[in-house]
A = this chain, B = another copy of it.
Amino acid sequence: MDVREMLAVAVAEARQGLVEGGIPIGAALFGPDGDLLGRGHNRRVQDGDASTHAETAAFRAAGRRPGYRGTTMVTTLSPCWYCSGLVRQFGISHVVIGEARTFHGGHDWLAEHGVRITLLDDPECVAMMTDFIAARPELWFEDIGQEG
């Protein structure tokens, strides 16, 4: 499975989040052989859960595992510090990012610490977040802990 196919899974999750009235960020975790381990999307609105960013949702859906060596986390948006910390702590090897134009999280820090980063700069991901931030700025700022 190539990185574009992986991203398509995360994009489908983001779209589902939008349909549900939520924040359109999706993610998926793939194993070393490209097998899908878990997928999910931001659930702040749907579950009233501030802790479930897309990457955490995908990580949780993958269940308990002895380790994450060789795994790939794909996300529609540059991972925030929380989700970047997840990647570093659990030793996820590779992060595929849809875009980092609308939000620049911790992926440079991850690269400094040996995580492989693939930034796709995908126009659909950029458009989805640009539209969302314009429509619901207060929700977006809440999701990244930026007080007005």
| Complex Cα spacing A56 to B51, Å | 6
| Interface: A20 (CB within 8 A) | no
Interface size classification for chain A: 35 or more
Does A63 contact B82, Cβ atoms closer than 8 Å?
Answer: no
| Interface: A106 (CB within 8 A) | yes
| Complex Cα spacing A101 to B52, Å | 29
Q: Shortest distance in angstroms between A58's beta carbon and chain B's nearest beta carbon? A: 9
| Interface: A68 (CB within 8 A) | yes
Does B147 contact A64, Cβ atoms closer than 8 Å?
Answer: no
Residues on the B chain within 8 Å of A48, using CB: 63-64
Interface stretch, picked from A2-10, A84-92, A126-134, is: A84-92
| 23 intermolecular pairs with C-beta atoms under 8 Å apart | A48-B63, A48-B64, A49-B64, A50-B59, A50-B60, A50-B62, A50-B90, A51-B56, A51-B60, A65-B142, A66-B148, A69-B147, A80-B85, A81-B85, A81-B88, A82-B82, A82-B85, A82-B86, A83-B85, A84-B85, A85-B88, A89-B144, A91-B147
Chain A positions within 8 Å of B, measured between CB atoms, are 44, 48-52, 56, 59-60, 62-69, 80-86, 88-91, 106, 142, 144-148
